[in-house]
Each structure stands twice: as C-alpha cells, then as structure tokens.
C-alpha cells in the first residue's frame, strides 16, 4: 500500500524487513496549529505476517488513531508507517451502502476483488451464514438492527479476503452469544487463512481469546505501555470455544485486565 521507503535512522532494532505493518516512532496530532492535540506519541510497533495483535487500553488512548494510520486514513506528524500488503477495515461504526441490499453490499466487495460473477451468490450466502444472517440478503441495511449491520460490515470485510485485517471493536454492539460465536469464527478464519490482524477491544477476555500478542496502551499522550504474550494453542484443530475454560486462560485474562488497570492509572 504505502510506497517502499527506508525507515528513518532511529529504528531501535524491533523493526523487521518482512513485517506486514511497521510503525517507527510515530506521532499523530489532531486539532489546529494553535491548539494541537497529541493523540499518539512515539509508537513503535511491528506486526509479522499471520500475527494476531490486539490493542487494549482506556478510552481516548489512541487505538482507533493507530488503526486509521495503518489503514492510510491518517498521516503521522512524526515517524514512519509502512504497510506491505492490502488492508481491509471493520470500523467501530459500520459503514455500509444504504442504497444497496445486504447482499448488494457483499457483492460489491466480491466484484471489486475479482470474484467471478457466477461464484458471487454462493459466496454471499456462505458469508451471511458465517455471521448468522442467512437468508437476510434481500433486506435493506436500514431495516437491520445495529448489531446486524455490524455483522454485515464484518462479512463485507471478509468478502474482500484482505491479507491484513484491521478491526476496531467489531463485536462491541453484539449480544453475548453472537459475540462469542464471531470471536471463535474470526480467530479460526484468521489462523486458517494466515490473515494478519490488528484488533481493538476493551475486553481482556476477548483480547486473550483472539490475540497471539496483546499491546496495552495508556493515554495522555497515547502510547504503548506494555505487552502480554498469549501462548495459547492456535491453528488447525484448535477448539477455540474450549480455550475459555482452559487453565492458562483465566490467568492470562487477569494479567491483561491488571495491565489495563495499570495503564489507566498512568494516563
Ligand atoms: N478528529 C479528531 N480531532 C481531534 N481530536 C481527535 C480526533 N480523533 C481523535 N481525537 C483525540 O485523539 C485521542 C485518541 O482518540 P482515539 O479515537 O484514537 O481513541 P480510542 O483509544 O480509539 O478511544 P475509544 O476507546 O473511546 O474508541 C483522543 O484524545 C481523542 O479525543
Ligand atoms: Mg476507538
């Protein structure tokens, strides 16, 4: 996506030429020149192909800002951002085409990414099944609940099959049952396809279930305050639902929850 350009001379050894996403010393400022707001400062972060990185932290610490940077919607005021492969995004608020049906939104994404016309209808049904909306393809998006709309947005992001998927609290508006099912689907799907994911959540449980690595951010200014590695099993044959009850799960969840509390106190 971004043109290949050399990282600036201040790399600290954490950078990796093969990374899908690489941020070095990144700062983002909003507001006017007279009243600038430093949203994030000096963020260095590298995400390897196939990694599932979760960002957690208190409201306002810059999680969405970092995703917007990686997606190319924001330019850094300092540092460098490199993204090596095509990115798909699921925002905090679903953004669908209101003049298209549910299926129409998905077909648009499939067509844009070269899925042959004859294969699209079956793929639409498959995607709708994945997000629990089977048979809803003919609905208008404004006839759906907020949670249903968000599920269409998730299906649309998956339709495009992006090698790098950015998800900003995608399950926050969903009921507990649907949320758990989609957590399991997204983890299995990402691991199965080797998709690189950067995922934002407020939930320590969600972070541990999904992530191979959890980055804990603090605010004032937004920065990465700590990291928790999640050495839970991944890949083919993993029973994701069963992980919630596995012994190391509770301890990891408590560790992440504690790190979030500490980061909030730092802010
Ligand atoms: N367009 C904007 N103009 C000015 N300030 C902004 C803008 N967008 C975000 N900010 C500020 O930048 C900081 C980081 O915002 P960001 O949306 O990245 O936080 P967040 O971690 O995603 O929060 P939340 O958990 O509430 O979604 C906040 O202080 C916010 O007020
Ligand atoms: Mg946000």
Tens-of-pLDDT digits for all 267 residues of the chain? 333 333 333 334 444 468 999 999 999 999 888 998 999 999 999 999 999 999 999 999 999 999 999 999 999 999 999 999 999 999 888 889 999 999 999 999 999 989 999 999 999 999 999 888 999 999 999 999 888 999 999 999 989 889 999 999 999 988 999 899 899 989 998 999 899 999 999 999 999 999 999 999 999 999 999 999 999 999 888 999 999 998 899 999 999 999 999 999 987
Q: Determine contact, residues 230/212, Cβ cutoff 8 Å.
A: yes
pLDDT at position 17: 60
The two three-digit tokens of residue 155, written as one number:
């299906």
217 CA closest ligand 1 atom index: 21
The Å distance, Cα 201 to ligand 2 centre, comes to 9
The Å distance, Cα 155 to ligand 2 centre, comes to 20
Q: Determine contact, residues 85/164, Cβ cutoff 8 Å.
A: yes
Q: Determine contact, residues 208/232, Cβ cutoff 8 Å.
A: yes
> Atom 30, ligand 1: which residue's CA is nearest?
60
The Å distance, Cα 185 to ligand 2 centre, comes to 23
The two three-digit tokens of residue 138, written as one number:
């003919």
Give the span between the Cα atoms of 123 and 137, in whole angstroms.
Answer: 12
Q: Is the CB of 61 under 6 A from ligand 1?
A: yes
Q: Is the CB of 39 under 6 A from ligand 1?
A: yes
Q: Is the CB of 64 under 6 A from ligand 1?
A: yes
pLDDT at position 27: 97
- What are the structural domains, with CATH classification, of the chain? 21-86+162-266 (3.40.50.300), 97-161 (no CATH)
| 3-state helix vs strand vs coil in the chain, percent to 5 | 35, 25, 40
pLDDT at position 14: 43
Q: For residue 100, which of 53, 144, 45, 132 has the smallest C-alpha distance?
A: 144
Give the span between the Cα atoms of 245 and 243, in whole angstroms.
Answer: 5
**Triad 32, 38, 40: Cα angle to 5°:** 140
Beta strands 36-47 and 21-31: pairing type? Answer: antiparallel
Give the span between the Cα atoms of 194 and 201, in whole angstroms.
Answer: 21
Mind giving me the DSSP string for 134-201?
TT-TTSBGGGS-HHHHHHHHHHHHHHT--SEEEEESTTTTS-HHHHHHHHHHHHHHHHHHT-EEEEE-
Q: Is the CB of 58 under 6 A from ligand 1?
A: no
> Atom 7, ligand 1: which residue's CA is nearest?
30
> Atom 17, ligand 1: which residue's CA is nearest?
64
Q: Determine contact, residues 240/188, Cβ cutoff 8 Å.
A: yes
Which ligand does the CA of 74 lie closest to? 1
The Å distance, Cα 111 to ligand 1 centre, comes to 33
The two three-digit tokens of residue 188, written as one number:
């299995």
Handedness of CA 222, 261, 48, 243 (dihedral sign): negative
| Residues having C-beta closer than 5 Å to ion ligand 2 | 63-64
Q: Is the CB of 30 under 6 A from ligand 1?
A: yes
Q: Determine contact, residues 201/56, Cβ cutoff 8 Å.
A: yes
Give the span between the Cα atoms of 224 and 237, in whole angstroms.
Answer: 33
> Atom 26, ligand 1: which residue's CA is nearest?
59
């Amino acid at each position: 996506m971004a043109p290949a350009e050399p990282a600036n001379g201040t790399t600290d050894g954490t950078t990796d030429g093969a990374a899908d996403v690489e941020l070095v010393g990144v700062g983002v400022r909003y507001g006017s020149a007279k009243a600038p707001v430093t949203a994030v400062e000096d963020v260095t972060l590298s995400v390897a192909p196939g990694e599932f990185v979760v960002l957690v932290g208190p409201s306002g610490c810059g999680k969405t800002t970092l995703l917007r940077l990686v997606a190319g919607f924001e330019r850094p005021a300092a540092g460098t951002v490199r993204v090596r492969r095509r990115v798909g995004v699921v925002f905090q608020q679903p953004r669908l085409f209101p003049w298209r049906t549910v299926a129409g939104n998905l077909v648009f994404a499939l067509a844009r990414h070269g899925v042959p016309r004859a294969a699209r209808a079956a793929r639409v049904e498959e995607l709708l099944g994945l997000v629990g909306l089977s048979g809803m393809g003919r609905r208008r998006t404004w006839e759906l609940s907020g949670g249903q709309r968000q599920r269409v947005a998730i299906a649309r992001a998956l339709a495009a099959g992006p090698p790098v998927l950015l998800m900003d609290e995608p399950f926050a508006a969903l009921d507990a049952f649907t949320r758990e099912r989609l957590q399991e689907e997204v983890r299995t799907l990402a691991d199965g396809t080797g998709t690189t994911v950067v995922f934002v959540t407020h939930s320590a449980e969600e972070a541990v279930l999904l992530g191979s690595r959890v980055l804990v951010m603090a605010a004032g200014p937004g920065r990465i305050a700590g990291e928790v590695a999640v050495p839970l099993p991944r890949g083919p044959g993993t029973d994701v639902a069963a992980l919630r009850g596995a012994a190391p799960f509770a301890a990891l969840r408590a560790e992440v929850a504690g790190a979030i509390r500490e980061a909030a106190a730092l802010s």
